[in-house]
Amino acid sequence: MSRIGKKPVTIPSGVTADIANGVLSVKGPKGSLSLTMRDEISYTLDGDTITVKPANATKAARAFWGMQRTLVDNLVTGVTQGYTKVLEITGVGYRANSQGKNLKLQLGYSHDVDFAIPEGIEIKTPDNTTVEISGIDKQKVGQVAAEIRRWRKPEPYKGKGIKYRGEFVFRKEGKKK
């Protein structure tokens, strides 16, 4: 039995959910998201809750149960609150600047890195060493943050690079004389 899957997803006021043609659609104050439903899982909409249960007793249905419930919860949370990831840039001369639909990164390369901001994602740079990525789709926000971080991962000797806020970078001792 999935502990996560057993919990029903509550729908807050101001959010509407609809099940039609194998697609679960959720609309809220921040926008709308949809999820293609799996055949192994049954979704029931009861007033202000969505219940996710396995449609049959197969191993695949039990495997998808908890994940599908979490995906439904991510839809509801995304259209009500949204998701935010914060990246911190450490290093001499390393900077970020948001310009319209592009993020300009100076990361110690011979050229500036221009990152095109995808649709549905908002990137802010409160200062030149902080990048705030926000949107309603949790997967998309995390993917964009990972793509930006991939340009210069934090290195273990000086800690230079792009890291998530709160991430611990394991530091190594340098050479000794």
Please indicate, yes or no, whether residues 94 and 160 belong to a single structural domain of this protein: yes
Please indicate, yes or no, whether residues 52 and 76 belong to a single structural domain of this protein: yes
Domain coverage including residue 131: 83-164
Among candidate residues 28, 50, 80, the one where a domain is terminated: 80
Please indicate, yes or no, whether residues 69 and 93 belong to a single structural domain of this protein: no
The verdict on pTM exceeding 0.75 is: yes
Helix (H) or strand (E) segment spanning residue 70: helix 59-80
Please indicate, yes or no, whether residues 128 and 64 belong to a single structural domain of this protein: no
Please indicate, yes or no, whether residues 62 and 96 belong to a single structural domain of this protein: no
Residue 157: phi and psi, rounded to 5, are: -90, -50
- How many distinct structural domains can be found in the chain? 2
Residue 107's CATH number: 3.90.930.12
**pLDDT tens-digit profile, the chain (177 residues):** 678 888 999 999 999 999 999 899 999 999 999 999 999 999 999 989 999 999 998 999 999 999 999 999 999 999 999 999 999 999 999 999 999 899 999 999 999 999 999 999 999 999 999 999 999 999 999 999 999 999 999 999 998 999 999 999 999 998 887
Residue 77: phi and psi, rounded to 5, are: -65, -40
Contact 107, 152 (CB under 8 A): yes
Please, is 157 exposed, middle or buried when counting C-beta atoms within 10 Å of its C-beta (0-12, 13-18, 19+)?
exposed
Residue whose C-alpha is closest to residue 65's, from 35, 47, 33, 38: 38
Q: Write the CA distances from 175 to 160, 171, 172, integer angstroms.
A: 17, 13, 10
Please indicate, yes or no, whether residues 93 and 133 belong to a single structural domain of this protein: yes
Please indicate, yes or no, whether residues 65 and 87 belong to a single structural domain of this protein: no
Among candidate residues 80, 105, 126, the one where a domain is terminated: 80
- Cα-Cα end-to-end distance for the chain: 58
Please indicate, yes or no, whether residues 88 and 61 belong to a single structural domain of this protein: no
Structure tokens at 76: 């509801």
Among candidate residues 80, 106, 123, the one where a domain is terminated: 80
Please indicate, yes or no, whether residues 95 and 159 belong to a single structural domain of this protein: yes
